Structures are given as C-alpha cells and as structure tokens.
Chains A and B, each alone.
Chain A
Amino acid sequence: RKEVEQDPGPFNVPEGATVAFNCTYSNSASQSFFWYRQDCRKEPKLLMSVYSSGNEDGRFTAQLNRASQYISLLIRDSKLSDSATYLCVVKNNAGNMLTFGGGTRLMVKP
C-alpha cells in the first residue's frame, strides 16, 4: 500500500459544480497535512493547510478524518481556472519528511 494515495482522475465537471477529492494516508502518526495545486509543467503551489477541526478558504474546504486516516478537499462553484492537478501532502510526526500523493486531476468544462 502506498503511503499517500489519491484517485488520479481525471474528474471532469461543469463550471459551477461542487467536487470533492479524498486522500488516504497509511501512517497514523502523521501530524501535518496540506493540499497543493499544480498546473501543467509548473511547480506545485500551496493551496491550503488542513487543520484538525477542518478549515475553509473561500470556495475551498479541507477536512481531516484521523480515525479513517484521510483528508478531503471540497471545491464549490468550480471555475475554469480551477482546472489543475491537486496534490495531497502528508508530513511525518518528526516534521522533516513530506510524502506526496500522486495527484488528482481536475478538469472544469464550460
């Protein structure tokens, strides 16, 4: 089993739709979690950290479920510009190692 797993997609959704991605992790001692966005042939950029109580940033909501060892990202009112690959990142409990999921590709269509 991979340490961090994501459905590669692609998720094809119409503009304005709500879409959610999950990411599962295997190390129950993992402490920090992040969602990154990567556009084609570019570097990943931090979208948001994921806090234990869940957090929201505009149209984006991140949740953490420690019991089931997954994090989720919800995007409301999808825009064409949301089309990208979304990477789940898990930091170990020592704080020095980050493991990336393979990414989930999102395509928002007009």
Chain B
Amino acid sequence: DGGITQSPKYLFRKEGQNVTLSCEQNLNHDAMYWYRQDPGQGLRLIYYSQIVNDFQKGDIAEGYSVSREKKESFPLTVTSAQKNPTAFYLCASSGLRATYNSPLHFGNGTRLTVT
C-alpha cells in the first residue's frame, strides 16, 4: 500500500542536541512538506520541497534544516538553534503538476520532546 512513513513515533532528546526526523513516501508525489503542531494549535509550515534538490522555507524555518536528495525522502533536522523544539511534527506530500487539486497526505507524525 502507498503511503507516508514517519519515524520514530516518539523521540526524546536533551537540549543542545541536533535530531533528525525521517519521512519517506512511496506515492510518487512531487511535493513534500514539514509542519509543526503545538498543543491546541493549528499546523505551521516549516519547509517544503516541490522537486528533488530544491526546497523553500515556510513560516517558521528558523532552527530547522532539510534535504531532498531523493523524491521519496524529505528528512527534517531540528537543530540546537530551535528555541522551543518540543512539538508534534507532521510530514506530508501531494501531487503537484498533474493534479492541481491534489490534497495533502500525512504521515503519522513524530512527537519530539526535548528536555
């Protein structure tokens, strides 16, 4: 079955450590996205990528970095520069060119706790 896989589901880190969240999709989607969700809040866009080897900052990119070396993969690194990294991180993908009205498909999310 096609889908998006995020790992791990739960992640615990000490303050000052970088951590990388994995996101893989086998939907053959061009576009991939990373969102952050804080308790009781909506989703905020961190980074997005429409094509391999290219990505753009979203609304809250500071303290985060991404790469898009393969179409299927869009890992997110939460760096020590991110002041409040504890949150629920959601990866998503969508078709882009051929399917303009394509909705987002989400992974199950990674819940990161930094102490």
Contacts and interface: CB of A to CB of B under 8 A. Distances in A.
Contacts of B101: 32, 49, 91
Interface in A38-96: 41-46, 49, 87, 89, 91, 95-96
Interface residues of B, number: 24
Interface in B77-115: 88, 90, 94, 96, 100-101, 103-109, 111
B43 interface: yes
Contacts, number: 51
A91 to B, nearest CB: 8
B17 interface: no
Given A49-B101, A96-B48, A43 B31 contact: no
A87 B42 contact: yes
A34 interface: yes
A42 B37 CA distance: 11
A95 B41 CA distance: 24
B96 A44 contact: no
